[in-house]
Amino acid sequence: MNFYGHAVVAAASERDGEFVLGAMLPDFISILGTRPPRLEVGSLRRGVAYHHRTDAAFHESEIFRTLQAQASDHLRACGVRRGPTRAVAHVGVELLIDAALAWSFAASSPSNSTAPDEAYLRALELGAAPLSGLAWAPSSDTERFMGLCQRLRQAGVARFRVDAEQAMADLGRILARRPRLALTDQETPAVKAWAAQAFLVVKSELPALLEQLKNRLDTERA
pLDDT tens-digit series, residues 157-207: 999 999 999 999 999 999 999 999 999 999 999 999 999 999 999 999 999
The pLDDT score that the predictor gives to residue 143 is 95
The pLDDT score that the predictor gives to residue 112 is 44
Residues in the chain: 222
Distance CA 184, CA 81 (A): 10
**Residue among 20, 39, 45, 4 at smallest CA distance from 122:** 20
The radius of gyration of the chain from alpha carbons, rounded to an integer in Å, stands at: 18
Distance CA 142, CA 166 (A): 31
Distance CA 22, CA 184 (A): 37
The pLDDT score that the predictor gives to residue 218 is 87
The pLDDT score that the predictor gives to residue 132 is 87
Tens-of-pLDDT digits for all 222 residues of the chain? 899 999 999 999 998 999 999 999 999 999 999 999 999 989 999 999 999 999 999 999 999 999 999 999 999 999 999 999 999 999 999 999 999 999 987 765 544 446 889 999 999 999 999 998 899 988 899 999 999 999 999 999 999 999 999 999 999 999 999 999 999 999 999 999 999 999 999 999 999 999 999 999 988 775
**Residue among 211, 167, 212 at smallest CA distance from 192:** 167
| SS3 per residue for the chain | CCHHHHHHHHHHHCCCHHHHHHHHHHHHHHHHCCCCCEECCCHHHHHHHHHHHHHHHHHHCHHHHHHHHHHHHHHHHCCCCHHHHHHHHHHHHHHHHHHHHHHHHHHHCCCCCCHHHHHHHHHHHHHCCCCCCEECCCCHHHHHHHHHHHHHHHHCHHHHCCCHHHHHHHHHHHHHCCCCCCCCCCHHHHHHHHHHHHHHHHHHHHHHHHHHHHHHHHHHHC
The pLDDT score that the predictor gives to residue 107 is 64
The pLDDT score that the predictor gives to residue 109 is 52
Model confidence pTM above 0.85: yes
Distance CA 4, CA 120 (A): 7
The pLDDT score that the predictor gives to residue 153 is 96
The pLDDT score that the predictor gives to residue 119 is 94
